[in-house]
Amino acid sequence: MQITDKTAVSIHYTLTNQHGEQLDSSRGESPLVYLHGSGNIIAGLEAALAGKQTGDKLNVTIAADQAYGEVSEDMIQVVSRTMFDGMDIEVGMQFHAEVSHGPGIITITEIDGDDITIDGNHPLAGEALTFDVEVIDVRPATADEIAHGHVHGAGCHH
C-alpha cells in the first residue's frame, strides 16, 4: 500500500543537520507512527513520503521553509529579568510559553544585566534538515484515527 492521505504510517528515521550532526533518531527504538495528511510531521518530510510504501528507503534534505520555518526576527525580543521572577537563569535555558502562533518553546540567547534576550523561534528554525528514512508499515487509518487527527495504539505520538 502506498502512503496517501488518511494512511497510518510507521517510519524509522535519523535526522541530521546541515553539518552532518545527528539530532535525533528512532533507530533502536519504536518507529515514529503518524497519520499522513494531518500535519503530524513537518510538511517537507510528509511530501517526500507521499507515494512511498513499506520497505522503501529515502534520504531527503528538507529546506528550512518546509521544516521548522525561517528564523523570524519578530520572535526575538529583549525582556526584563523581572519576567523570570527571581529564577536563576542562564543562556540556553528553554521554557514553554505562549508565542505568536500558540504554545511554543522560548530559549534564552543572551543575558546583559537585566536585559534578557529570548527567542521564540523553533530551535531548528532556519536550518535545512536531512532525514534518512525507512518506511516500516503503511495501513489504512481507522475512522477514529481520522476523526482525532492522529494514530492510535502502539507507537502513537500524541
Which strand (E) or helix (H) includes residue 60?
strand 57-62
Give pLDDT tens digits for 11-53: 999 999 999 999 999 999 999 999 999 999 999 999 999 999 9
Q: Which DSSP state fits 151?
A: -
pLDDT at 12: 98
Give me the domains of the chain, ranges plus CATH numbers: 7-67+125-148 (3.10.50.40), 73-119 (2.40.10.330)
With a cut of 50, say whether residue 4 has pLDDT above it: yes
Rounded distance between C-alpha atoms, residue 56 and residue 11, angstroms: 10
Give pLDDT tens digits for 60-72: 999 999 999 999 9
Q: How many angstroms separate the Cα of 53 from the Cα of each of 3, 21, 67, 96, 106?
A: 6, 28, 22, 36, 37
**Average pLDDT in the 131-137 region?**
98
Report the mean per-residue pLDDT for the chain.
Answer: 93
With a cut of 50, say whether residue 113 has pLDDT above it: yes
pLDDT at 103: 82
Q: How many angstroms separate the Cα of 67 from the Cα of each of 5, 46, 72, 126, 130?
A: 19, 10, 14, 9, 10
